[in-house]
Amino acid sequence: MTYYGFDTRQKPFDDPRVRRAFAQAVDWRRLATLDELGSSVAATSLVPTGIPGRPDGDFLPPYDPAAARALLAEAGYATGAALGPISFIASGGGYDGALIAMLEENLGVTIDYATMDFDTYQDRLSTDPPELWSLSWVADYPGSNDFLGVLLGTGSTSNEGGWSNPDFDAAIADAGAATTPEDATAAYAKALEIVRDEAPAVPVSYGTSYTLVRDGLLGATQNGLGILRLAGLAWAR
């Protein structure tokens, strides 16, 4: 999964209205179509399709530039220029150029964009994150919490933007304590609604992968990282 996030610990993105403004100024569904054909699909939430217990529905912020500009004004910024240059650093994602163009066109902001090699970029995110950043995430296990609690839970080491929301944390805790799959899914849906409305991070796409198999070959399945598990391969007798 590829997603964009904000440093929520500092102005202007400590204000959820500013984060929502940026989120609603981007047509995320159109952005996803700019990737190489067949290499990804448009995201609808931070939890990719196919994850057991994933809530149904679309949890992306709506594309609404007029509402986005109104949110900025409500937050005290009459124009996007009033925000000053927004620092955006990435490791060189394929969506970055189109994202910048939409933000500049729809909000009138100035984006100060730079790229870094991945190792340097990871160090920067951990020590001095830019105001806007992007990452790709591959889950350690196929579960909703590995995309929600791990990425956005208060104090999580993978919570690069430093976001903290007690209602979100409570929903994740409820999901972990649920005694039925239905209750867990309902709690994760509540968590996704909070992420949609607070916009600490916005997903853009899920990666796709393919495995070539043939009759008689057993165990050709992917592990939790989406990689073919070679140790399980065997020929049928």
- Written out in words, the top-level CATH class of the domain with range 2-143+199-235 is alpha beta
Residue 158 contacts residue 5 (beta carbons within 8 Å):
no
From CA 124, how far away is CA 113, in angstroms rounded? 14
Q: What is the pLDDT of residues 160-202, one digit of tens each?
A: 999 999 999 999 999 999 999 999 999 999 999 999 999 999 9
pLDDT > 90? residue 135: yes
- The tokens describing 19, both together, are 């984060």
The per-residue pLDDT for range 46-85, each reduced to its tens digit, is 999 989 889 999 999 999 999 999 999 999 999 999 999 9
Pairing of strands 201-207, 132-136: unpaired
∠ Cα 128 129 132 (to 5°)? 155
Provide the percentage of residues in the chain whose pLDDT is more than 90.
74
Contact 216, 235 (CB under 8 A): yes
Count of Cβ atoms closer than 10 Å to residue 180 Cβ: 8
Residue 29 contacts residue 42 (beta carbons within 8 Å): yes
Give the domain ranges of the chain. 2-143+199-235
